Amino acid sequence: MKKTASVAAFPAPGHDHDRCATDAIAHAESLCVARAQRLTPIRRRVLEALLATHKPLGAYEIIERMGGKAAERPAPITIYRALEFLRENGLVHRIESRNAFIACIHKHASGDPVVFLLCERCGAVGEAASASIAETLKSASRAAGFTPKTPVIEIAGICSHCREG
Amino acid sequence: MKKTASVAAFPAPGHDHDRCATDAIAHAESLCVARAQRLTPIRRRVLEALLATHKPLGAYEIIERMGGKAAERPAPITIYRALEFLRENGLVHRIESRNAFIACIHKHASGDPVVFLLCERCGAVGEAASASIAETLKSASRAAGFTPKTPVIEIAGICSHCREG
DNA sequence: AAATATATGTTGCACTGCAACAAAAAGAGC
DNA sequence: GCTCTTTTTGTTGCAGTGCAACATATATTT
Ligand SMILES: [Zn+2]
Ligand SMILES: [Zn+2]
Ligand SMILES: [Zn+2]
Ligand SMILES: [Zn+2]
């Protein structure tokens, strides 16, 4: 009984996260090259800050984690601009129910509907892409005479590692 | 082919909105009586302000719409406390992707998953309750080892009235 | 009436998100 | 190289969100 590709990963506590982050950066670089987009140092540092954890981070938290002396830290607007760029390129998601951001560690097409699983205990966020959910939602909204764009789906709960551990 | 009850209404521009609001207030009153909860004047005014429109309102917008002279207007914290009460009793929803609030004009059980349809043109918000969506989401999150609570589902798009009109 | 619980007012602050303009850096054409 | 143009980043400032902590008022209970 193999897992389907449609249901995806909640990050396991013991996973190889260095690899996880390195891969994501590599993917971001190649994607930006392919699109002739510029992954500038600031944008890269914001992405790296987000990739350091699987928890969603707010703007100030990102600033703190970008390191450097307090005086050298970028202003919030700089972070938001970088986040805008990263989101446009599908490298970062916004978690609406938290007013926070998280790096995408998948390679789904931008505009793809994604289900976010937010663990209330450990704070980690998993992504589950499901074609069936997308279809159900689209047909339901069309039944209401609605022309849908990308849905926002966020589910709070308890992840398996927190429940069992 | 009749419409199923599972797919619900986007508020039509010409609907009897006085009735719409009056009914909701009446429902709120009876519900609060039944639960021995106190629908105080402030809580009622906040609910009425939200019921005046089917667009989600932020805290400051609610304050403005509550009327009275500027000096007499309640502080934001007062609004948030009223909203907390109203949300706990299922009378108001928070639209996460907008940091705003909307009165519930349905009578679904609290904890019921609701799909919000956000029209990007007219700003109105419809609610669509769908058991099938709830089931699909639950099974998908369980497949990821996740114990879900109430999901947040918000779909931006264009409503039928804006598209056809 | 007094004690208790609930609700509202007051003050203050941390954080979100972005507009408007200024300066710097990168890229393109000569 | 050097100028022109576009893109990116810095600076200042502001409207809005959301709530903590404490004071006061109002309702409920005994
Ligand atoms: Zn990881
Ligand atoms: Zn967890
Ligand atoms: Zn109405
Ligand atoms: Zn519309």
pLDDT digits (tens, 9 = 90+) for A69-97: 877 899 999 999 999 999 999 999 999 99
Q: List bases, strand C, within 7 Å of protein CB.
A: 6-12, 14-20, 26-27
Report the Cα–Cα distance between both ends of chain B, in Å, rounded. Answer: 25
Per the document, the length of chain B is 165
Q: How close does chain B come to A128, measured CA to CA in Å?
A: 8
- Choose which CATH entry (3.40.225.10, 1.10.1370.30, 1.10.10.10, 2.40.30.10) describes domain A15-105: 1.10.10.10
What Cα–Cα distance (Å) separates residue B93 from each residue in A43, B22, B51, B86, B112?
Answer: 35, 18, 12, 8, 12
**Ranges of each domain in chain A:** 15-105, 108-165
Rounded to two decimals, the pTM is 0.92
- In this predicted structure, what is the pLDDT of residue B1? 44
Considering the domain A108-165 in this protein, what is its CATH number?
3.30.1490.190
A15-105 with A108-165: one CATH topology?
no
CA distance B13 to B49: 18
Per-residue pLDDT band for B5 (boundaries 50, 70, 90) equals very low
Contact B158 A146 (CB under 8 A): yes
What is the pLDDT averaged over residues B44-59?
97
At residue A126, φ and ψ (nearest 5 deg) are -105, 155
**pLDDT for position B42:** 97
Across the range B15-36, mean pLDDT stands at 95
The SS3 of residue B54 is coil
Structure confidence at residue B79 (pLDDT): 98
Judge: B133–A140 Cβ closer than 8 Å, yes or no: yes
Give pLDDT < 50 ranges for chain A: 1-6
